[in-house]
């Protein structure tokens, strides 16, 4: 449908999900949150999708924030429900069994930065602006911004971005650890797809094991995290991919992973 708030496609194992509201700078309204949630659920179950790239339509914005027009008249319980709707999506992305790359092509503000931070990797154009400006609306971040920013950038940077509400440029975001790489805007798509292609050819079960171990380790004591890592490491020895990977190394050739 041409009026869908998102577009999706899959090619050579790379799924691409695009927030498609360029006239609204790709702002997240309830319909867009629900469409994204459904798209990520579908991608999680699709054996033909090995990695996902998330971006925004148009030249200006990744996602410029939540839809203020939709939020402005919400009552407290409705505001809470809207927050939970957004957090459900962010958690779905964060716990995906396949890597998700945010291709940050412009403004990533408020809900947009929260969306990017839920992804596993973030590649930003050098022209991108990132921030949590909710304080300027009399609000606080509601889609997990205080928590994921704290884990990525630390307490001082989180308080600076959330209390002052002033966006930072891509270079500063890289310095703070909010994004993984910054590239020239003209090269953003090519550089992001290069990383996506590398992941699409990697061992799917090992990718999932890595994502699971990092997610678990980030929320528990190190002893528990180490035990979980050991368990995942052992499980890899039951996979065809582990045999193929080690055999290819010894035979000095590139492995071909099957996801089994």
Complete edge-to-edge strand list for the sheet that includes strand 121-125: 6-11, 14-19, 51-56, 100-104, 121-125, 181-183
Beta bridge pairs of residue 103: 123
Is 189's pLDDT higher than 60? yes
From 42, 70, 114, 160, the catalytic residue: 114
Give the model's pLDDT for residue 1.
42
Q: What rounded mean pLDDT belongs to the chain?
A: 95
The question of whether 224 is a catalytic residue gets the answer no
Instruction: Spot the catalytic one: 134, 197, 223, 244.
Output: 134
Is the predicted pLDDT of residue 2 greater than 70, yes or no?
no
Q: How confident is the model at residue 218 (pLDDT cuts 50, 70, 90)?
A: confident
Q: What is the pLDDT of residues 24-55, one digit of tens each?
A: 999 999 999 999 999 999 999 999 999 999 99
Taken in order of first residue, the domains within the chain and their CATH numbers are 6-200 (3.90.226.10), 204-251 (1.10.12.10)
Verify whether residue 114 is a known catalytic residue: yes
Report how far residue 106's alpha carbon sits from residue 102's, in angstroms, rounded to the nearest whole number: 11
pLDDT digit string, tens, across residues 91-109: 999 999 999 999 999 999 9
What was the pLDDT predicted at 115? Answer: 98
Give the rounded percent of residues in the chain with a pLDDT score beyond 70. Answer: 99
């Amino acid at each position: 449908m041409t009026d869908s708030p998102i577009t999706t496609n899959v090619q050579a194992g790379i799924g691409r999900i695009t927030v498609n509201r360029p006239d609204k700078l790709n702002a997240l309204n309830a319909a867009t949150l629900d469409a994204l949630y459904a798209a990520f659920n579908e991608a999680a179950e699709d054996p033909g999708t090995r990695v996902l790239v998330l971006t925004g339509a148009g030249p200006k914005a990744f996602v410029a924030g939540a839809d203020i027009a939709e939020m402005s008249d919400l009552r407290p319980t409705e505001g809470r429900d809207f927050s939970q709707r957004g957090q459900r999506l962010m958690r779905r992305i964060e716990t995906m069994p396949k890597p998700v790359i945010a291709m940050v092509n412009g403004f990533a503000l408020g809900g947009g930065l929260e969306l990017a931070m839920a992804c596993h990797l973030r590649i930003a154009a050098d022209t991108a602006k990132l921030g949590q400006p909710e304080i300027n609306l009399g609000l606080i971040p509601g889609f997990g911004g205080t928590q994921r920013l704290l884990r990525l950038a630390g307490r001082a940077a989180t308080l600076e971005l959330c209390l002052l509400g002033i966006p930072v440029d891509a270079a500063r975001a890289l310095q703070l650890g909010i994004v993984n790489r910054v590239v020239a805007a003209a090269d953003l798509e090519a550089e992001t797809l290069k990383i996506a292609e590398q992941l699409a050819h990697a061992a799917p079960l090992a990718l999932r094991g890595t994502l699971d171990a990092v997610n678990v380790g980030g929320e528990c004591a190190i002893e528990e995290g180490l035990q979980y890592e050991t368990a995942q490491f052992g499980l890899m020895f039951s996979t065809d991919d582990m045999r193929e990977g080690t055999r290819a190394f010894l035979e000095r050739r590139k492995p071909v992973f099957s996801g089994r």
